[in-house]
Amino acid sequence: VPPERNRNFSIIAHVDHGKSTLCDRLLQSCGVIPENAREQFLDGLEVERERGITVKAQTCSMLVRSEKDGLQYLLNLIDTPGHVDFSYEVSRSLHACQGAVLLCDAVQGIQAQTVSTFHQAFEADLEVLCALSKVDLDYAQKEEVKRQMSVLTGVSTDEVLEVSGKTGQGVPSLLEAIIHKVPPPRGKAQAPFKALLFDAYYDSRRGMVLLIAIEDGELRKGSKIHCSYSGRVHVAMDIGLLYPDLCSVDNLRSGQIGFIVVGAKDIRSFRVGETVWQEGGEKSGEPFPGFKPAHPMVYAGIFPEAVSDGEKLETAMQRLLLTDASVEARRDISPVLGSGYRCGFLGLLHLDVFRQRLSREYGVDVLATSPTVPYHLLLANGTQVVVEHAGDFPTPPAMPPKEVEEPLVTATIVLPRELTPGIQQLCIERRGEELSVEPLDNAGERILMKWRLPLAEVITDFFDKLQALSHGFASFDYQPAGYQPVDLVKVGVRLNNEHVDALSFFALRAKAPEVSRKYLEKLEKVIPAQLFDIGIQAVVGGKVVAKVRIKPIRKDVVAQKILSHGHSGDPSRKAKLLERQKEGKKRLREIAKVQVPPEAFVAMVKM
């Protein structure tokens, strides 16, 4: 297929609007995957299958013959995640494309990520095709949703396509639209080879796999490539297309999306967004500007559950950080939790998925400490620092900071009009400031509100509250929007009079006593009773603001327990019990002679 017949496009939409299902139909219609393939075929990660969401953008090539002109085209499709926590995946993918298919559920209508992903595609200068999805559903409101899409994107209502990933309706017309409306890549076939590295991962069998969008020229298998970030030269041991499995070819050409396997061991020397040249090409050409670094929203410590897993965690982190460039990480050593990392994530779901991937894909169970937003501190000596861990907050005898600023976000909320007052109330409770309220359609039934909110109020349970208040009919998305002063304190925690930095956290001064009380009640539940009294105190600026006491377990009860286990008739049950106890022991951390389970550190998340 000549370069002018390549089409590179992404599918973008709000969560659950049918992207992955439509990809299945597109791939089946060209015979890339069998008719009876599992659903959401491209969602290959265990976490994706378990949660039913796309976390990682996936690429697949397909050959399509156009009915209109009878010619064959090479289409490269990138399926993207919809959730705001994975928006960096979307923006990265869009750089490899010239077009995007914006899907919108024909029953639900426009939602917050329909708006935000459209703006991303628009800013990336892509040709945006609009399509209603799930048009097979009885309650589909086709005309109404077409009008909404027209207001959002400026395309006329009769240009909005209708598709169903369930029945396959509209798939042939969508393919024709992609072929005839999305422009071919603009690269020069005769120029020296130049490609954008837009994703990478480590495969235990093949080694480093680089996913690239080729701008100019051609690459042959076995050639030497120059990677702009490290400046190193590697041999392209294998090259090919993604179907969606790696499928080797002899050469890759301008306009294609493909992969290169390099024999490099040092994973850290690659960066998504860098430029890959044929060796020598770097001397005369201009590299790509590189991706904007991700903007972490929440920080948490990541430590191995079993202290002995430190090395395993290091290998796993290197590999996972390569495929998820939106995570910021640096080494951290905690006296209590051992050697681990302090990481920045795009949201709590992102943090949770990251933690789960470490466990499922790399076999390392980790605990994550209380997530915190990054605060700006103006110190007494005039310097400004960013603090993203309560342990780093100056406490007596150090001088308190002169000023503390917290991060803000601009939230985009899309909702039915009648829910507006309830949601406004919620935003006000969360210290929000209303910026605008506009209708999304001519009838004014669907509203788009913008609010400025403190990030700390958004990352906890804001989304859950929004869902509950709106019965799932409101959606939201947010973007960083500067900083504002905040009256913040550090709450220290003492176990049997010993200060435990790993348990300390931030709170608004006015709310510190209440939050502390709740937190201690949580600790009271998760810390097992011992043979002695355990006193736990929450301290702000040297003053105790809350305390609990865990009463000792009586000696005879312990004896009784041992006795009853000893007499348990079933030996395999007993073995299992002992195994579980051992497992449990491994996870406990001894702090001030108190056995603290990992749950104590994450307790803050759920409050």
Does 20 contact Mg ion by CB under 5 A? yes
CB closer to Mg ion out of 22 and 491: 22
336 scored as a contact of ligand GDP (CB under 6 A)? no
Encoded amino acid at 11, one letter: I
Whether 91 and 295 have beta carbons less than 8 Å apart is answered as: no
Q: Which stretch binds Mg ion (CB under 5 A): 11-19, 515-523, 545-553, 598-606?
A: 11-19
Q: How far apart are CA 238 and CA 245, in angstroms?
A: 13
From 185, 189, 172, 182, select the one nearest 64 (Cα to Cα).
172
> Which window, 159-167, 273-281, 383-391, 558-566, contacts ligand GDP (CB under 6 A)?
159-167
Residue 111 Cβ, how far from ligand GDP at the closest point, in Å? 11
Burial class (CB in 10 A: 0-12, 13-18, 19+), 436: exposed
Query: For the chain, what is the total number of helices (H) and then of strands (E)?
Result: 15, 32
Q: How far apart are the C-alpha atoms of 489 and 7, rounded to whole Å?
A: 54
Closer to ligand GDP by Cβ: residue 153 or 369: 153
Give the contact letters, 62-101, x = binds to Mg ion (CB under 5 A), - = no: ----------------------------------------
Question: Is 18 a binder of ligand GDP (CB under 6 A)?
Answer: yes
Cis peptide bond upstream of 289, omega within 30: no
**Window 57-96: contact mask with ligand GDP (x via CB under 6 A):** -------------------------x--------------
Using the contact rule CB under 6 A, the part of the chain among 162-170, 194-202, 231-239, 251-259 near ligand GDP is 162-170
Beta bridge partners of 146: none
Element (H, E) at 131: strand 127-133
Interface with ligand GDP includes 136 (CB under 6 A)? yes
Q: Which position among 6, 76, 133, 254 is part of the footprint of ligand GDP (CB under 6 A)?
A: 133
Site for Mg ion in 43-62 (CB under 5 A): 54
Question: Is position 10 an interface residue for Mg ion (rule: CB under 5 A)?
Answer: no
Tokens 């220290």 sit at which residue? 492
Q: Which is nearer to ligand GDP, 135 or 602 (CB)?
A: 135
**Interface with ligand GDP includes 142 (CB under 6 A)?**
no
Q: 43-49: long-range contacts (C-beta < 8 A, 24 or more apart)?
A: 45/357, 45/361, 46/360, 46/361, 47/353, 47/356, 47/357, 47/360
| Min CB(397)–Mg ion separation in Å | 53
In 3-state terms, the chain is what percent helix, strand and coil (to 5)?
A: 30, 35, 35
Q: Is 477 in the site for ligand GDP (CB under 6 A)?
A: no
Calpha distance 57→113 (Å, rounded): 16
By C-beta, is 19 or 234 nearer to Mg ion?
19
Min dist. Cβ of residue 10 to ligand GDP (A): 12
Of 6, 8, 10, 21, the one binding ligand GDP by CB under 6 A: 21
Q: Which of 268, 288, 129 is nearest to 195 (CA)?
A: 288
Residue type, 182: V
19 scored as a contact of ligand GDP (CB under 6 A): yes
Paired strand residues for 548: 536
Among 137, 151, 235, 237, binds ligand GDP (CB under 6 A): 137
Select the residue interacting with ligand GDP from 5, 134, 226, 376 (CB under 6 A): 134
Whether a cis peptide bond, with omega within 30° of 0, leads into 2 is no
CB 82 to Mg ion: min, Å: 7
Look at residue 137 and give the partner it binds from Mg ion, ligand GDP, none, a contact being a CB closer than 5 to 8 Å depending on partner kind.
ligand GDP
Output the smallest distance, CB 20 to ligand GDP, in A: 3
CB of 107 to ligand GDP, least distance (A): 9
How long, in residues, is the chain?
A: 607
For residue 19, the minimal CB distance to Mg ion (Å) is 5
- Least gap, CB of 179 to ligand GDP (angstroms): 22
Least distance in Å: CB of 336 to ligand GDP? Answer: 39
CA 196 to CA 148: how far, in whole Å?
35
Residues at the annotated binding site for GTP? 13-20, 79-83
3-state secondary structure of 14: coil
Collect all residues with Cβ–Cβ distance below 8 Å to 127 and sequence separation of at least 6. 98, 99, 100, 181, 182, 183
> Is the distance from CB of 598 to CB of 523 less than 8 angstroms?
no
- How far does Cα 315 stand from its chain's mean position? 20
Judged by the rule CB under 5 A, the positions of this chain that interact with Mg ion are: 19-20, 54
Binding site for ligand GDP (CB under 6 A): 13, 15-21, 40, 54, 82, 133-134, 136-137, 164-166
